[in-house]
A and B are shown apart, each in its own frame.
Chain A
Amino acid sequence: MSISQPIPTHDHTQIELGFLRKYIFSEDHKMIGIQFLFSGMIFLFLGGALALLVRLQIGWPYGNLPMVGNWFPASWGGKMSPEFYTMIFSMHATIMIFFVIIPWLTGAFGNFLIPLQIGARDMAFPKLNMLSYWVMWPSFILMLISFFVAGGAAGSGWTAYPTLSSAAMPDGMTGSPASPNSGTGQVLWLISLLFAGVSSMMGSVNYITTIINMRCPGMTLMRMPMTIWAMFVTAILQAMALPVLTVAIILQLLDKTIGTTFFLPPAGMAFGNWHTGPGGGQPLLWQHLFWFYSHPAVYIMILPAMGMVSDIISTFARKPLFGYRPMVYAIAGIAGLGFIVWGHHMFQSGMDPRLGTGFMIATIMIALPSAVKTFNWLGTIWQGNIQYTSAMLNALAFVSMFVIGGLSGIFMAATPVDVYIHDTYFIVAHIHYVLFMSTIFGIYAGVYYWYPKMFGRMMSETLGKIHFALTFLSANATFYPMHIIGVGGHPRRYFDITIYDTFQHLQPLNAFMTVAAIILGFVQFIFVANFFWSLFFGKKANRNPWHSNSLEWAAPSPPPHGNFEGNVPSVYRGPYEYGHPETQEDYLPQFEPNGPKDTPGGSH
């Protein structure tokens, strides 16, 4: 009853499963992680293609789109329609956030790394784990179907604010308050996110239980790698924030289907002879409930990357992580503060101004733990024996891009400044610096770093470095100018800004960004080529190719079912004993019984 580690009743390595059980309906955390990785990759390209369409429209408004234009209905004349534009930027955000970043970070890396790094044979509930992946599929399918229903997919932004999203007009009415796509497309969007939420919730409950109860002997909380700490805190964030989004989604779904009016204004909305319904609700309430989840979700989308980058930087700087405990407390601090800052998305929505002040102070306070993390990464690199592998380069890019994204965040946190830059491209620049450039670089770093463990082969370093350099340059060329046009007043989500004389001078910069974005998009194929080429022809990896310390490197590459041969390893020290003065090698694995004993938190 109280034994947390299941004792293997049979030798795990001996089990041979059929193809279906091994690769499709697998209960093995590693396979589920890889499944999440692949489905995330598919949607990365779908979301990226949508982003390029958005950029094409902004770069050359009403331009005849090459190739893509042929796919549009003949009545559009090869040009994009405004409704189509709102649809693609909404779906770009939805897909990137819910189907790429979150599944990659918590689904792929969380699943793959948690049992390996804490020395467990599998998750606490393997069946629940399998379910959490397969519940994603209804979500994927519904979202894809929504592109083909009448009116198209949801087009009211990924935030789906009522009344834009919920007050659907009957057919034939003009002057609608709602986005034209807010009919069936929006309903499917809501149901799809409901499934995604259930999947995330099952995952997070499983991760927390696993991390609390399944650690191998000796793996105390303060000996866990930062990745695990980050996953743990992320799972807690998800468990506590997601239900609120679930409620919001359900209420909006009821509004749209059975005629409740939770998010319609008190007297309803009348348009000629047509009326949205009796009203009595609050449009602002949706924003509160939505951001109560979606702000913590922003941290869900970066904390795991922070954890992984901490491990990678420490490994390749061949130095202990600077300030392990402060790093842990900083993650917890970011998570805690993350729950009380959602209002900074709503400074301009007519929220009570007194709340705005509180939210502003709390938001600016998040800079403190974030700065602790950044300076600790710098402290880790300082005087280190840095190895510039692809993983390390991507991790360093994460840190630098996080600094830029974080600093631009402080502008928005201050209410007076936010009044000016709210809903401009400054916000777009900020979100892409944090979510695209930080998190995706973090994910790439993770893929390069753990690829040998996942597939037993090394990725090509040359291709990796080319991919990194081109991505870094083109991403900065794409997103940095957004700060400039944002401060210039360029509003976000506008179909065509050239009709305003004020913004005419920003147009050349827009065209430049579009070119950079196209390059950025195509550069990613180098990564895919590298990924699949290495899958078959990469150099065979040994157990510990990076001479790293944490527990996953004690397992074979790739680890068999059950992860560790024989007994699960025991842990004798923290995971960051690099360059220890008393050892011959410059690393000292956690699972190595001989050698200097623990220095708490890995600091010297």
Chain B
Amino acid sequence: MRAEKHETESCEHVPNLFRLYMFVAVALIICTALSFVFNYYASEDVHTVAKTTAFLLILGVASLKALLVGYIFMHLKWDWGKLYFLIIPVAILGMMMIIVLLPDALLGVLYDAKDQLIIAEQFAKEMKK
């Protein structure tokens, strides 16, 4: 019973699986090229896209690639129903951890570098006087 259930849900009964894998690999390579394009437009010589925008775009492309690998290569398309209870919590947790820590990173800018720059500017002003 269980065995049959597994068989019918298995990835290996999808027709043209080989072509699907090839298609995904090509898509991954195109995505990599795409992130290079974004990077080029954000580079200092061209600079048509803001750095932050390009950063987010490139991270978006990377996430898309990760989803493709996970969905097809790691067979989540077929196994999602059995594994979502592991993947959803860990995805939420990982994202949350980074987001929660970011305000502190900005504090670092505030406390360290920024006031050093302010001090440096004041010093320069005093020197002019």
Q: Do chains A and B touch in the complex (CB under 8 A)?
A: yes
B2 touches A3 (CB 8 A): yes
B93 touches A266 (CB 8 A): no
The 4 closest A-B pairs by CB, nearest first: A352-B103, A266-B112, A2-B2, A2-B6
Assess the A240–B93 pair: CB atoms within 8 A.
yes
Q: Is the CB of B93 within 8 A of A339?
A: yes
Q: Indicate if A580 sits at the interface (CB-CB under 8 A).
A: no
On whether A288 and B103 interact (CB within 8 A), knowing A1-B6, A244-B97, A265-B112, the answer reads no
Q: How many residues of A contact B (CB 8 A)?
A: 22
Chain A residues closer than 8 Å to B90, beta-carbon distance:
240
Q: How far is the CA of A212 from the CA of B121 in the complex (A)?
A: 62
Question: What is B's interface to A at a CB cutoff of 8 Å?
Answer: 2-3, 5-6, 89-90, 93, 96-97, 100-101, 103-108, 112-113, 116
Name the B residues within 8 Å of A1 (CB-CB).
3, 6
Residue of A nearest to B112 (CB): A266
Q: Any chain B CB within 8 A of the CB of A141?
A: no
Q: Which residues of B contact A343 (CB under 8 A)?
A: 100
Please state if B104 and A352 are interface contacts (CB–CB under 8 Å).
Answer: yes
Inter-subunit contact B104/A355 (CB<8 Å):
yes
Q: Name the CB-closest residue of A to B96.
A: A340
Looking at chain A's contact residues, is the secondary structure mostly helix, strand, loop, or mixed?
A: loop
User: What residues of chain A have their CB less than 8 Å away from a CB belonging to chain B?
Assistant: 1-3, 236, 240, 244, 265-267, 282, 284-285, 288, 292, 339-340, 343, 350-352, 354-355
CB within 8 Å for A355 and B93 given contacts A3-B2, A266-B113: no
Tell me how far the C-beta of B6 lies from the nearest C-beta in chain A, rounded to whole angstroms.
5
Indicate if the CB atoms of A351 and B112 lie closer than 8 Å: no
Task: A237 to B2: give the CA distance in the assembly, Å.
Answer: 30
CB distance A292 to B3 under 8 Å? no
- A240-B89, A240-B93 given as contacts; is B108 within 8 A of A266 (CB)? yes
Chain B residues near A350 (CB-CB < 8 A): 107
Q: In the bound complex, what is the Cα–Cα distance between A267 and B3 (angstroms)?
A: 62
Q: How far is the CA of A278 from the CA of B93 in the complex (A)?
A: 32
In-complex Cβ contact of B104 among A240, A288, A339, A340 (8 A): A288
Cβ contact of A2, chosen from B3, B101, B103, B104, cutoff 8 A? B3
A266 closest partner in B (C-beta): B112
Give Cα A343 to B112, complex, Å. Answer: 22
Within 8 Å CB of A340, what residues of B? 96, 100
Among B89, B101, B116, point to the contact of A285 (Cβ < 8 A).
B101
Question: Which residues of the other chain, A, contact B6 by a CB distance below 8 angstroms?
Answer: 1-2
Q: Can you list 19 contacts pairing A with B, beta carbon distance less than 8 Å?
A: A1-B6, A236-B89, A240-B90, A244-B97, A265-B112, A266-B108, A266-B113, A282-B104, A282-B108, A284-B104, A285-B101, A292-B97, A339-B93, A339-B96, A340-B100, A343-B100, A352-B106, A354-B103, A355-B103
Give complex CA distance A288, B105 in Å: 11
Q: How far is the CB of A229 from chain B (nearest CB, A)?
A: 15
The chain A residue with its CB closest to the CB of B90 is A240
* Residue with the highest number of chain B CB atoms closer than 10 Å, among A285, A352, A355: A352
Residues of B contacting A2 in the complex (Cβ-Cβ under 8 angstroms): 2-3, 5-6
Q: Which residues of B contact A351 (CB under 8 A)?
A: 104, 107
Least Cβ distance of B9 to chain A in Å? 11
Name the residue on B nearest A282 (C-beta): B108
Chain A residue nearest to B103 in the complex (CB): A352
The smallest C-beta distance from A163 to any residue of chain B, in angstroms, reads 15
- Collect the chain B residues with CB atoms within 8 Å of residue A292's CB: 97
Contacts of B3 in A (CB 8 A): 1-3
Provide the bound-state CA to CA distance between A147 and B103, in Å.
39
A343–B103 CA distance with the chains assembled, in angstroms: 13
Query: How far does the Cβ of B81 sit from chain A's closest Cβ, in whole Å?
Result: 14
Taking the closest CB of chain B, its distance from the CB of A80, in whole angstroms, is: 37
Q: Which residue of A lies closest to B100 (CB)?
A: A355
Minimum CB distance partner of A236 in chain B: B89
User: Shortest beta-carbon distance, B88 to chain A, in Å?
Assistant: 12
Closest Cβ–Cβ distance, residue A279 to chain B (whole Å): 9
Instruction: Please pick, from A236, A265, A352, the residue contacting B107 in the complex, using a CB distance under 8 A.
Output: A352
Across the interface, name the chain B residue whose C-beta is closest to A281.
Answer: B108
Interchain CA distance A350-B111 in the complex, whole Å: 10
Smallest CB separation, B90 vs chain A (Å)? 6
CA distance in complex: A339, B97 (Å): 9
Question: Which B residues touch A288, using CB under 8 A?
Answer: 101, 104
Residues of B within 8 A of A355 (CB): 100, 103-104
- Residues of chain A contacted by B113 (CB below 8 angstroms): 266
List residues of chain A with CB within 8 A of the CB of B106.
352
